[in-house]
């Protein structure tokens, strides 16, 4: 360790920001490789501990007790985190060689590797290995939440019964917690179902928008009448409603995508809640049967083979509502590589001021922060419906491929592109599709 530190200290300072970013990339890859080595060492250490305790005559039921706490201490972390690292190491080394290799090669960082492990932890070992094979080579550009959603879709397809049971167990654990934050603040966290969470967020967002539009943004607790931000207004509405001083809640819309087999028959492909991830198809059908739910069905046209969504054109400066809905459905979360933020803006990849058209080909769904960053000097986006490439001011390029409109479709159902022409459905000028799925807009009582 001392020799490594001496070698690092001998490195000359970077001569430019370009060299700094390049070095940072190499350092990050090295960190990921070391994380893979740490996982292997952790798994090997547990095996050695079991052998040592067996040789000492320790009862098998007590083998390895306390080892996870030692892992935590060795890493300078809590026992709980040590336990997570141990579980992740066991899963990666024993059942997920492709994910471990990606970590060792620097293609995947430790946070995203742990996100993968978390989503398969309840599966049988053979199913973990199958998910590992399906995800091989598909990590680039994905943030932890988006990656977890893709893995969860495959896991729920492989064990649909277990997925439903897991959702029921999770719902039984719903709760509200409070933890302190700095400067006299605190975090209030409610663990609720996805359906309820989407409704809460949609209601608060819409009502905050109404307050902003009326201009009544003054902070009632501030004697100077300082205007509140959109987030502050949402927070104030949340507190008012929890304390019982709010108007009646309003319905919220949730967009859910399903295959025709899952919607109309007994297909096992999970449904996908736009912006949130997969849910078991059976659970989505339960939502349909709820008396307080209004359902609006639309067909979604996707290309065969890669199941990517196709869309429509517009010459307007602002993206029309129909095209905006299609972009949100396609991108799911912020399109920037590694970002899982909620889509708030539909962006012209090539700016409109530079002649970029308001079109399906030139559109990207971005969170507010990424949209702002893109406007800084030296940042450029190059987009197609299938791909986004982001170039930073130092000239480094980061890419993200568009996934299918519905994740979790088993490989044998993903039709390969056909060489011969086949009948096509024309959606608009230059846009064709030959595969359909269904999207449901559920109007849910908040």
Task: Transcribe 303-349 into DSSP letters.
Answer: -TTT--B---B--SSSPPHHHHHHHHHHH-S--STT--PPP-EEEES
Listed by start position, the domains of the chain span: 27-56+65-165, 194-249, 252-308+405-444, 321-401
Q: Is 237 within 8 Å of 124 (Cβ atoms)? A: no
Phi-psi region of 135 (alpha: psi -120 to 50; beta: other; left: phi over 0): alpha
User: Can you give the pLDDT of all 446 residues of the chain as single tens digits?
Assistant: 677 677 667 778 888 999 999 989 888 999 999 999 999 999 999 999 999 999 989 898 888 888 888 898 888 888 888 899 999 999 999 999 999 999 999 889 999 999 999 999 999 999 999 999 999 999 988 999 999 999 999 999 999 999 999 888 988 999 999 887 877 788 899 999 888 898 899 999 999 999 998 888 888 777 777 889 999 999 999 988 888 755 555 556 677 888 888 888 888 888 888 877 888 888 888 877 777 677 777 777 777 777 777 654 445 557 888 888 889 989 988 999 988 888 989 999 999 889 899 888 999 999 888 898 888 888 899 999 999 999 888 888 889 999 888 888 777 655 555 544 444 433 333 333 345 566 666 655 54
Q: What dihedral do alpha carbons 89, 94, 96, 102 form, nearest 10°?
A: 60
Q: How far is CA 119 from CA 27, 92, 212, 272, 378, in A?
A: 28, 12, 39, 16, 38
Q: Residues of 201-226 as b/e, b for ≥16 C-beta within 10 angstroms?
A: bbbbbebbeebeeeeebeeeeeeeee
Q: Is 287 within 8 Å of 293 (Cβ atoms)? A: yes
Beta strands in 70-218 (DSSP E): 175-180, 186-191
Q: What is the rounded CA–CA span in Å between residue 178 and residue 196?
A: 19
């Amino acid at each position: 360790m001392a020799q490594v530190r001496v070698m690092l200290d001998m490195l000359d300072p970077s001569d430019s920001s370009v060299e700094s970013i390049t070095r940072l990339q190499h350092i990050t890859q090295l960190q990921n490789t070391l994380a893979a080595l740490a996982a292997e060492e952790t798994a090997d250490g547990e095996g050695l501990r079991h052998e040592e305790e067996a040789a000492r005559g320790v009862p098998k039921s007590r083998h390895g007790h306390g080892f996870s706490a030692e892992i935590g201490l060795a890493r300078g972390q809590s026992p709980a985190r040590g336990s997570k690292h141990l579980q992740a190491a066991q899963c990666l080394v024993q059942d997920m060689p492709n994910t471990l290799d990606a970590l060792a090669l620097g293609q995947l960082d430790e946070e995203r590797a742990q996100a993968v492990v978390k989503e398969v932890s309840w599966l049988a070992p053979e199913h973990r290995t199958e998910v590992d094979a399906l995800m091989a080579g598909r990590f680039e550009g994905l943030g932890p939440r988006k990656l977890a959603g893709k893995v969860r879709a495959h896991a729920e397809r492989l064990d649909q019964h277990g997925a439903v049971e897991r959702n029921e167990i999770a719902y039984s654990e719903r709760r509200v917690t409070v933890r302190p934050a700095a400067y006299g603040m605190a975090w209030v966290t409610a663990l609720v179902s996805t359906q309820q969470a989407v409704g809460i967020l949609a209601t608060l967002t819409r009502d905050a928008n109404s307050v902003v539009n009326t201009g009544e943004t003054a902070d009632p607790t501030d004697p100077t009448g300082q205007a509140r931000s959109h987030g502050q207004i949402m927070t104030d509405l949340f507190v008012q409603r929890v304390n019982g001083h709010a108007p009646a809640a309003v319905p919220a819309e949730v967009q859910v995508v399903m295959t025709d087999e899952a919607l109309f028959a007994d297909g096992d492909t999970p449904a996908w809640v736009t912006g949130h991830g997969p849910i078991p198809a059976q659970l989505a059908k339960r939502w349909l049967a709820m008396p307080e739910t209004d359902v609006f069905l639309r067909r979604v046209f996707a290309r065969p083979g890669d199941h990517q969504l196709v869309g429509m054109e517009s010459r307007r400066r602002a993206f029309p509502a129909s095209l905006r809905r299609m972009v949100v459905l396609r991108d799911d979360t912020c399109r920037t590589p590694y970002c899982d933020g909620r889509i708030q803006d539909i962006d012209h990849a090539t700016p409109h001021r530079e002649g970029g058209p308001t079109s399906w080909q030139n559109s990207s769904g971005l969170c507010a922060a990424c949209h702002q960053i893109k406007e800084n000097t030296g940042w450029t986006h190059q987009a197609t419906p299938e791909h986004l490439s982001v170039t930073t001011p130092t000239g480094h390029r980061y890419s993200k491929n568009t996934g299918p409109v519905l994740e979790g479709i088993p490989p044998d159902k993903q039709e390969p592109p056909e060489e011969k022409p086949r009948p096509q459905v024309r959606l608009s000028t230059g846009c064709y599709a030959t595969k359909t799925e269904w999207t449901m807009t559920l109007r849910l009582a908040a």
